Amino acid sequence: MKYSPKSLDEYKELEKLPSVPIGEYLEVVDFDPSSNCFYEPVDLHHSFLLAEDGLSPSQSIPQFHQQMVYAVAMRTIRNFESIHGRMALWAPRRLNLGSARRIRIGRGVHPRLRLYPHALREANAFYSPEKKSLLFGYFQTKFHPEADPVTVFSCLSQDIITHEMTHALLDGMHERFVEPSNPDMLAFHEAFADLVALFQHFSLPEVLEHQIANTRGDLASPNRLGELAQEFGAANWPPRRPAQRDWKYGS
| DSSP letter for each residue of 144-201 | STTSPPEEEEGGG-HHHHHHHHHHHHHHHH-GGGGS-SSTTHHHHHHHHHHHHHHHHH
Rg (CA), the chain: 19
In angstroms, how far is CA 16 from the centroid of its own chain? 20
Helix (H, G, I), strand (E, B) or coil at 131: coil
Q: How confident is the model at residue 224 (pLDDT cuts 50, 70, 90)?
A: low
Q: Per residue in 193-204, pLDDT tens?
A: 998 988 888 888
CB 41 within 8 A of CB 28: yes
| C-alpha 191: how far from chain center | 15
Cis peptide before 242 (omega within 30 of 0): no
pLDDT for the residue numbered 118: 96
Question: Where do the domains of the chain lie?
Answer: 8-92+109-250
Q: Report which DSSP code applies to 246.
A: -
Nearest CA to 96 out of 58, 124, 63, 128 is that of: 128
Relative to beta strand 133-141, strand 150-153 is antiparallel
**23-60, pLDDT tens digit by residue?**
889 999 999 999 999 999 988 778 888 788 888 989 89
Q: What is the pLDDT of residues 91-149, one digit of tens each?
A: 876 655 555 545 555 444 568 899 999 999 999 999 998 888 999 999 988 777 777 88
C-beta of residue 110 within 8 angstroms of C-beta of residue 25: no
Separation CA 179–CA 96 (nearest Å): 12
